[in-house]
Each structure stands twice: as C-alpha cells, then as structure tokens.
Structure 1
Amino acid sequence: MMLIEKEEQKKIDDTLVSESKRSMPFQTERNHSCKILYMFLKKMMEGLVLFIIIIKNHDGFGGNLFFYVLFLILLSMLLFSVLDWRRQVFYFYKEAIYFKSGLLNVKIREIPFQRVTTVDLTEGILDKIFGTVKVKVDTGSLSKNESELSLLLDKRRALEVRSLILNRPDHIKTDSKTFGKGYNVSFTQLMLYACTSNAVTKGIGIIFVAYTFLDDYIFNIFDIKLLDYEITAKYLWEKVIWVVAGVILISTLLSIMKSLIQYYNFRIDVEGDKLNICYGLLNQKHYSFSRDKIKGVHGRQNALMQLFHLKTLEIESIGYGDEKGESAILFPICNAKLEEEIMDELLPEFVYKGKIQVLPKRALLRFIWKKVLFLGILVAILMHYVSFGIAGVILLPFACWLGYMQFRNAAVGMDQELLTMSYNGMYKVKTVVKRTAVQSFEKSHSYFQKRAGLASFKVNIFSNQKYQSLKVKNLESHVVDNYLKKAR
C-alpha cells in the first residue's frame, strides 16, 4: 500500500474491528497542529489583494508604520488560525463521527458511518515533510459543504480513522476475500496512456497559450522570415512541418511528464468489501470505499484509443473523482483482455452478459446527413466572406466518418441487474450501471424519427454531477418500448 505496509494495515483493521464491536469511547480529538500552518497560508492567499494594495501604497504610511500594519495583519491571521484549530474537534460515538467547529457560530455535524461513500487519504509534499495525511470523508450529499469532512492527522491515526469508518461490523462479511488480487500500472502502460490520451491535445493547447506570450521568439526559434524575401509555397510547407512537429513533440513530452507524476505507482486491489486505489508521485492519493457504493463503470476511448483497441476505465462512485483536475479512474489504460480480467477479479457484479441491441442500418443516414448539412452551412458562410471558402468541402469525408463512428458505437443492453449503454463517436463511452442507480428512463422521438420507426433512449443516473444523462439515439422504437416495460 502507499502510506503503510499492508501487514501493518491489517493489524490496525483487526484491532479496530474488534474494538468497534464494543461501545466506542467518547474522546475528542483535534487536527494535527500543522493544520495551523495550512490555515495561516490559506488566509494569506485570501488576503493577497490586501497585501498588494498595502505594499504598493507603503509610502503613504510613513516611517515604520507600514511594517507595524503588516505585522499586525499577519499576527491577526495567525491568531485566528490558532483559534480555528482549537475550536475544531471531532469524536466517534455510536457508529458515527461528529465534527464541531466555529468561533462565534458553533456547528456540530454528525456523519453516520453507513452514509459514508468514500474515505480518501492524500499525502502532498508538505505532508511528507511533517508526517501528516489529509483525510476526506464523503457522504455523497448534493451539497458540497455537507458532503465532505476534511481532517489533517498523522499517518497512523489517519489509517485508523479510515479503518474505523469502513470496517464497521456491518461491512465485515465472512465469505469475502481478505486480500484480493491487485493490479499495477507499468511504466510502459503509462507511456502508452500519455501518448494516446487527451493530455496530448491539452499540451497543444498549453503551447498555443504560451505562444501569445512568446510570439516574438517563435519566429526566431524556427527561423521564419516573412519580410526579407518573397515567400514560396515550398518555404511555407517546410516551416509548417517544423512547427507542427515541434508542437506535437513538446505536447507529447508534457503529457508524458503529467501522466508519470499523476499516476506514478498506480495500484488497485480489493480488501474484503473495500476497493483501494492509490497513485501519485508528488501528491500521493489513496482512495478507499465499499464496493456496494459503486454505481457503475465507464470505459472511455478517444479516436486514437479506438484505433488501437485501448480504453480508460472509470467508476461511478459519489465522492470519488469530484476534486478539481481529478477523474474517477479505475485503471488508466487497458486492452480488452486486461479489462475482462480486472472486471472479473475486482468487480464481477458489473460484468454484463446479456443481449446487446445495436442500431438498425437505416439509422446510419440520420447520423451522416446532420454532419453534412452543418458542413454545407459552414462552407456557404465561408464562401460569402473569403474566396477560398469552398476548400471546406475537403472536410466532407471527415463529417461522414464522424457520423459513421456515432452509428457504429451506439448500443444498449439491459438485464435484471444491469444496464449498459454505448454512445458518442470520436470519444466513445461504454457505461455499465446498476439498474438501482437509474433515476429515470425516457423515450423521445422527432417527427422524422417516428416516421422511420426510430426513437431515442435516455436514462438519468445519480452521480458526482448530481444527475448524469446517458442517451442513445435512433434505436428501434419497439426496442425502447421493451426497455421501458422492463424498467417498470
């Protein structure tokens, strides 16, 4: 495991489970004292504008008054940070965790263990220095303030808190495996993920943003001269090749660096009824949650991944992947064989073996003509403003290919326990969710769809985005009716 050896974690689990069978002691605790530093730094960042104003107008204070004012502001921030830390306490009592906070307006929050969806451990650079771990307890509430409880504890206590919450007696099943098989992401897989994921596209975006600040140097780097002599097609073609190659190379390197740092030492395994996911180089993360809290599994593929038959696996579990810049990763990259192995071993309850319904052939034209119509309108507008607007016609094969991809990727299947839906073209998503996680089923059709005997099938599921819609267009109308009957 990431923060502590698995044998030691098992000892902690066994001790805490046996203690939890007795009545829990009522003992208040506080965050680690380093929390004061984090609060102080946060207050300084919040008051950054005030500091800038004071520094820019320091001449108006006269003499040493500027330093006194600055000292008093910093001292007050430090004092309030200490008071905040002192007033924040938590304790465990009767299968729940209580958190008390506030200076003037005191609040006490109660979080029953049975409502907890995930307990996440994060160890950043400062945490490694001070020997602390951030603990985030999430309940899946729609309100962000109510869904999360954040603590800063030393490593051992953080693991004890996680085990106390997740290993409560009603989560212990005698027929569960204590330690299931684990899967690690190799260096080669991370390189492959970096080269095929959308991170390369993001890297290109970063380069173009940087270009706005470095445009004076770009021409020098690639030795582009626009005014010295007549520009030829050969000259432009050579420079375009160099620029494009440079952009792709730099963006790929940025993507590789990001992937290696973010998903370094990635591992997923099962302990009893808990699913553990850990990864990270500079900012180490460890997510633990009960498997029964997982609502679904998503397989995501961009165009390049579809070409090489690779995909990224994500899970639908409220509280996981809801942080900025994070996604609910189950496994960064895998082929069909590895996907089948991971699902059979770790999440067999999401293995769908029922019938898959694809679209009828007559639905293909409905996907293509919309793309062609949009392209025609775009070309007409360009021709009105520029003489070479007709060149947009060369995008016609791409528009047809995009429509075909949407047609080919669309599929639906449903049995007594699971619902699977596949949709999108260039960014294909295949989702398998528990039917109990579906909030609503919906059938819709336009006038032209109805005449063709087609309809769209849409479901809403409860997720990190409150409600997520999944939709497959142009299914046989009677097939959608059958799904609606099954859902009743």
Structure 2
Amino acid sequence: MDFKHRRGHFLIIFEKISEIPILLLSIIFSAFLLNTFDTQALIPVVAILLSPISKLVNYFFTYYTLTQEHLIVESGVFNKKRIELPFSTITAVDLSQNILYQIFGVYKIKVDNASQTNEAANQSKINLTLKKEEAIQFKKIITGNFIETANEQHELAAIKGEISDFIKLGLLQSKAAYIMSILAIVGSLSSLIIPFIEGKVEGALLAALIITIIIIVYLTAVIMSIVKAVIKYYAFSVWADEETLKVQYGLLNKKSFSLQKSKINGIILKQNLLMRIFKLYSAEVIVIGYGDKSEEGGTEKAIIFPIAKKEKIKEIVNIVLPEYSLDYKLCKPERKAIRYFFISPMFIFAVICVICAVAAAIIIENYIVIAAALVFLAFSVAHTIQKYINAGISVGESNIVLSSGAFSKRVAIIKTKSIESITSTGSIFKRRKGFVSIRLGFVAPLRVANISSLNLPINQFELLEGVLKY
C-alpha cells in the first residue's frame, strides 16, 4: 500500500453527525437572511459554520504518510507542524463508523500513543478517514496484524455479548443525564400546560398528576438508557491473539480497536450502586494513551466487556489476558480504622450544616432546615461507611490490586512492573495506630493514572515496597 503525503477521505469534515442538520438549517437560514439583507442576524449563523469551516481548512492542510517504521503527520496553514510516530510507540489503532460513514463504506481511524497521556494530547491527536479496504490495510501496516471485521477465525474465537447483557446495562446505569434532559423539555412546555390545568386540578388529583409525571419521566429515562446501551454495544465481541487484544461493537456508530498487550498496564472492574446490588461488573483495560479524549457519547474507554457477573469477567480475562488473575483476596481496613474515614471534608461539612440548621431553626422557628441538614448528614454517613467497606489491597509478585470508592466501587488490577511510584499518606497519630492511605502511580490515561485506597494497614505498604524492589 503506497500511502505518502495523502489527506484521506473528505468525509472527516462530517465526523459529528449531530452537526449536519444544524449546518443545513444554517445554510438555509443564511440564504434567507441574505435576501432580506439582515446582516446582523448572520452572526449566530457564522458562529455555527465555524466548526465545519475549520475542519475543512484542517482537511486541506493535513497530510499523512506511512513509511516502513513511522507514521508522519504534517499540518498547519502558516505555522507548519510535523509529527513522527514510530510504530513501536503506538498503543491503539481505533476504527469507527457513524451512519454516514457506513453508507459510503468509510472508516474513521484514530491512532493513540503514549504521548497522549500528557497535556499535549490534543496537539498530537491523529484522526483520518479512509475507504474500508485502505483503512484495514493502514491498520495492518501499523499494527502488523490483519484485522478483518468478519472472518471465520474471529467468529470462532470471539467472546460475544448478548442483547440481554446490554438491556441489563441500560437498566442499571445512571439515569441522571436522561432525567435532567427530560425535565428540561417538560419545564419548557410547562408554560403551555399550566394555563389549561390551573384552577381545574387541585388537592389529591394534583398530587396524583405530579406522581404520574414523575413515573413517566423515570420510565422514559429507563427506556432511553436501554435503547442507548443496546445501540452502543450491539454485536459486542472481544478476542485476542498472542500480541493483540481486539474489540468491536456498535450499531449506528460501529467501533473496532486493537490494543497491543504489551502496552496494557492493568484492568479496572467498575460497579455503580445498582450493579453492586446485583453483583454485576463492567471491565475495561488501562492502556497508555487511550481513554482521555472525549467522544460524542463521553470519554472513550477500552471496554473488554460491558456488564457481567464476576465469574464471567474472570473467564473472559483468563482467555484474552491470562496474565491478570482475578483470583485475589483483599486485605481490608481494620474495624478500628473506620473513625479515620469520618475525618473527611464531606462528613465534617455535614456536621457543621446540622449545627447551623439547628441555630437557624431556633431563630426563624422553622424546623424544615433541620430535616434537610439531617438528610445530608445521613447521606454523608452512608457515603463514608461505603468508603470503608470498599477499601482494600492485595499485593502480589505479578499484580497489585487496589479497591476503592463509595456508592460506586472500582477495583484496579495493575501490572506490578508498570508501577512507577507508591505513596503512603497519614498523620503521625494514624501511623502510630498502623494505618496509611496508599496511592499507586503508573503511566496511564490521566483519569486513572493515580489510584488510591484509604486507611489500609501500614504493613501492606511495607509489603508493597518489598515487591517493587525489582
């Protein structure tokens, strides 16, 4: 494949589908305004057009070249920039297709490497768009692996997710964003609805109406969450060869990425409160340079399975990443350490709020503020106790396991040789009692580069020091 000083496909300009209808409306609106000579009203239209215009400029002045060992990117109009990435430093090559790309048989290619863990990540962001055959060949040259989206070997080796898994994920994941969006729409319509019911609906009927609206809003949020989870993770499959972990999924926005096993530093198991109740986990890998950029659906994650019981996650890990054992036993904080968890900003602030609420209630003779403060205090107590329950560590020769979190729990299994620093923190009094908080530092995306757990036995830090003396 001869790939020298090329721009790729022009559809990179339309990588965000959501911008297309806005763009079309802006063009129509601007044409109308030009006829009426309303130049002042063109200002918001020009603002909307800035994004596609800047992408068009970037497209015409960005060139990609593949040599035998490097990916070279040249960009800039007046201030020229040249980036050279050795193939050996590339951690992930990500293929994706939105609906428009699927129609035209085009893939968006995103290349990640270790330099993207720092503040220069956006400056070294590498995105281009190619026809399907070229995209697969491009990926093959960089990774040394031929990745076909559908072949017999993949069908036999892949571990697949079921629709029922994605429905569970939709049911159990947070609905807050959906509820806020729906309430915003309901709020905007309230000015039209209130005049029709004002004076006609009162008492118990009004209360029933409000409860009905709340139920409808929640059920709508649940349906939206399920639909999004099914569409996002449709046809999920994960498989691996000796050197590479491969994942693909998606219906409207198809995604396929390959990660070099040698660049994977750990695995993270996550549970929100509902997932903890049903003993379900989601699992993702920690890869240098992958997981800090924002996608349309949020921060990208190297998911290896969206949701499953721990036994199934363990089975998947044993197949695709056998060097990471999930057969660990956590050393938990001692019972007498729980008092140190309560020395936290949230709990102290909650206590202060209760004291202030009592004083305010005496002055204004209104005790509702006390009730509100007590609810906040109860929440902070529950939050603190959950931190105590979820804290833990397991020190091994190959992997270090660190557990943390409050209502949401996170368990990180980190490759011992990937850890670059360890930190213990604790007051003199806490150290005398034999407790410290432990933080692990390693090369990873910024959101997970430093993982910590609170008030663990100090002998675990000493054990950790011994293991890290390579």
Could you tell me which residue of structure 2 aligns to residue 174 of structure 1?
none
Provide the C-alpha distance between the structure 2 equivalents of 1:359 and 1:31, rounded to a whole number of angstroms: 56
The code of the aligned residue for 1:441 comes to I
- Alignment CA distance shift 1:446-1:57 (3 Å): farther
Partner of 2:150: none
SS of the residue corresponding to residue 442 of structure 1 reads strand
Q: Judging changes above 3 Å, is the alpha-carbon distance between structure 1 residues 106 and 354 closer, same or farther for their aligned structure 2 residues?
A: same
Matched residue type, 2:369 = G
Q: Does 1:333 align with 2:313?
A: no
Q: Work out which of the two has the higher radius of gyration on C-alpha atoms and give 1 or 2.
A: 1
The aligned residue for residue 298 of structure 1 is 268
Code of the residue aligned with 1:91 in structure 2: it is T
For 1:152-231, list aligned pairs within 5 A: 152-167=129-144, 181-198=157-174, 200-216=175-191, 227=199, 231=203
Q: Show the 5 A alignment for 1:356-435.
A: 356-368=330-342, 373-383=348-358, 384=360, 386-392=366-372, 393=374, 398-435=379-416
The separation in 2 between residues aligned to 1:288 and 1:61, in whole angstroms, is 51
Q: Which runs of 5+ in 2 are unaligned?
A: 147-152
3-state secondary structure, aligned to 1:405:
helix
SS in structure 2 at match of 1:350: coil
Partner Cα separation in structure 2 for residue 135 and residue 376 of structure 1: 52
Once the two structures are TM-superposed, the CA of residue 269 in structure 1 deviates from its matched residue by 1.1
Cα separation, 2, equivalents of 1:368 and 1:252: 35
Q: Residue type of the partner of 1:421?
A: L
Q: Is the Cα contact below 8 Å between 1:185 and 1:265 reproduced in 2? A: yes
Which amino acid is the alignment partner of residue 276 of structure 2? Answer: Q
Q: Distance in 2 between matches of 1:190 and 1:121?
A: 22
Q: Report matched runs for 1:99-114 at 5 Å.
A: 99-114=73-88
Q: 2:230 aligned with 1:250, yes or no?
A: no
Answering whether residue 101 of structure 2 is matched by residue 131 of structure 1, we say no
Distance 1:403 1:84 in 2: 49
Shift of 1:305: 0.7
Q: Which residue identity does 2:187 align to in structure 1? A: T
CA distance in 1, matches of 2:321, 2:225: 30
Q: Does 1:260 align with 2:221?
A: no
Per-residue CA deviation, residues 240-270 of structure 1 (Å, 9 max, x unaligned), is 5323322221110111121122111111111
In structure 2, distance between residues paired with 1:328 and 1:136: 13
Alignment-mate amino acid for residue 416 of structure 2: R
**Does the Cα contact within 8 Å between 1:135 and 1:151 map onto a contact in 2?**
yes
Moved more, 85-94 or 441-450: 85-94
AA aligned opposite 1:195: L
Alignment check: 8 A CA contact 1:412 1:422 kept: yes
Cα pair distance change 1:293/1:146, threshold 3 Å = farther
From the superposition, tell whether residues 443 and 124 of structure 1 become closer, same or farther in structure 2 (CA, over 3 Å).
same
Is contact 1:139-1:148 (8 Å) kept? no
Q: What residue identity is the alignment partner of 2:178?
A: G
**Deviation, structure 1 residue 180:** 7.7
- Residues 178 and 187 of structure 1: CA distance in aligned 2, closer, same or farther (over 3 Å): closer
Give the conservation status (yes or no) of the 8 Å contact 2:419–2:441. yes
The one-letter code matched in structure 1 to 2:367 is S
Q: Deviations over 1:55-103 (max 9, x none)?
A: 75765589xxx99xx9xxx9xx99994x865654433323122233444
RMSD (Å) for aligned C-alpha atoms: 3.9
SS of residue in 2 equivalent to 1:348: coil
- Residues 162 and 454 from structure 1, CA distance in 2 versus in 1: closer, same or farther, beyond 3 angstroms? same
C-alpha separation between the residues in 1 aligned to 2:268 and 2:256? 20
CA distance in 2, matches of 1:361, 1:40: 51
CA contact 2:10–2:59 (8 Å) conserved in 1: no
Normalising by the residue count of structure 1, what TM-score does the alignment of the two structures yield?
A: 0.78
Distance change >3 Å, CA 460–CA 80, structure 1 → 2: closer
Q: Name the CA distance, whole Å, in 2 between partners of 1:88 and 1:452.
A: 60
Change (3 A) 1:240 1:37: closer
CA contact (8 A) 2:314 2:326 kept: no
1:178–1:272 CA contact under 8 A, matched in 2: no
State the alpha-carbon separation in 1 of the partners of residues 156 and 240 from structure 2.
5
Q: CA deviation at 1:469?
A: 2.0
Q: How many residues align?
A: 440
Q: CA deviation at 1:348?
A: 1.1
Deviations 1:401-421 (A, max 9, x none): 333222111110122221110
Contact 2:9 2:128 survives alignment (8 Å): no
Q: Is the 8 A contact 1:101 1:108 kept in 2?
A: yes
Is the Cα–Cα contact under 8 Å of residues 32 and 132 in structure 1 kept in the other structure?
Answer: no
Question: Counterpart of 1:152 in structure 2: which amino acid?
Answer: T
Structure 1: segments with no counterpart, 5+ residues: 1-24, 170-176
1:122 positional shift: 1.0
